[in-house]
Amino acid sequence: MMTDKQSLTTARILDAATDIFAEAGFNGALMDEIARRAGVNKAMIYYHIGAKEALYAEVLHGVIGHVADSISACIETGATPEAKLRAYIRGFVDAVEGNPRMGPILLREIASGGQNLPDLVIQDFARIIALITAILDEGRERGVFYPVTPFLIHMTVVGSLILYKASGPIRSRRENIPAAVKALDQQITPRITVEVENLILRGIKKPLRPAAEVTNDDDDPR
C-alpha cells in the first residue's frame, strides 16, 4: 500500500509532468526538468511511476479520464436527448476550465498525429465517444435529432472550446482588432458554453412540427 508520503511524491511528479507535457509535448519533455520541478531526483520518477512513456500515459489518463467522468456525471442529470447533449457540453467545458493544461496537451497530441497516445487513453476517448453516440442515437430514435456522425459532433465541441481557449493570448493583443470584434469577444467569453450548445443544436435538432405533418423520411436536414 502506498504511504501518504509516497502519494504526495507521486502527485508532485504528475503535476510537474503535466506542466512540462503541456509546454513541450511528449518529445520535448525532459525527465530531468520534470524531476527538477517536482523537487525529486530522476530516479524517484522511475521508482514511483516509470519511464517517460508510463509518465505520459498517467498524465493523459488523469486528464482524459477526468473528462470522461465529468461528462458522464453531467449526463445523468439530463432527462431528454437535448438536455443530455447540453450536459455533455457543460461537462467538457467544466473539464477544460478546471484544467487549463488540458487544451495544450490535446492540441500537441493532435498535431503529432496521436503517435504517442497510449492504449489506456484511447480507451478513455472511446468512453467519451460512446457517451455522445448514445445521446445522438436516442435523439434520432425519438425523432428530435437528425442523423449525424458522433465523432464529428464531438470534435466540433472539442475544437470550439479548446481552440477558443488557446487563442486567448492572441485575442488579448487587441491593437489591430476592430472594436466591433473586441466587443463581440467580450460578450461571447462568459457565454461560451451556451454559444457552443446553440451552435450544435441548431445544426442537428429537428424543428417541432405537428404530428400530422411528420413523415418517416425526415432524416435529411437539408
* The pLDDT value given to residue 160: 87
Instruction: State the residue range of the domain holding 118.
Output: 58-207
- 31 and 126 in a single domain? The answer is no
Last residue of some domain: 31, 50, 69?
50
- 34 and 95 in a single domain? The answer is no
**Residue 58 above 50 pLDDT?**
yes
Q: Give how far the C-alpha of residue 96 lies from the chain's centroid of Cα atoms, to the nearest Å.
A: 6
pLDDT tens, position by position, 66-105 = 889 888 888 888 889 999 999 999 888 888 888 888 889 9
Contact 92, 161 (CB under 8 A): yes
95 phi/psi in degrees, rounded to 5: -70, -40
- 78 and 45 in a single domain? The answer is no
For residue 6, give the CATH number of its domain: 1.10.10.60
Asked if residue 222 is part of any domain, the answer here is no
Sequence-ordered list of residues with C-beta below 8 angstroms from that of 193, at least 6 positions apart, any chain: 89, 90, 93
**Residue 222 above 50 pLDDT?**
no
- 1 and 64 in a single domain? The answer is no
pLDDT tens, position by position, 148-189 = 999 999 999 988 888 888 877 777 766 666 776 666 666 666
**Residue 206 above 50 pLDDT?**
yes
- 39 and 81 in a single domain? The answer is no
Q: Report the number of distinct structural domains present in the chain.
A: 2
- 134 and 182 in a single domain? The answer is yes
Sequential DSSP letters for 118-181: -HHHHHHHHHHHHHHHHHHHHHHHTTSB----HHHHHHHHHHHHHHHHHTHHHHH-GGGS-HHH
* The pLDDT value given to residue 214: 47
Place of cell 447540453: 86
CA atoms of 47 and 55, how far apart (whole Å):
11
- N residues, the chain: 222
For residue 170, give the CATH number of its domain: 1.10.357.10
Higher pLDDT, 174 or 62: 62
pLDDT tens, position by position, 113-153 = 888 888 989 999 999 999 999 999 999 999 999 999 999 99
- 156 and 76 in a single domain? The answer is yes
- 81 and 18 in a single domain? The answer is no
pLDDT tens, position by position, 5-51 = 668 899 999 999 999 999 999 999 999 999 999 999 999 999 999 99
Asked if residue 216 is part of any domain, the answer here is no
* The pLDDT value given to residue 192: 82
- 134 and 176 in a single domain? The answer is yes
Higher pLDDT, 2 or 132: 132
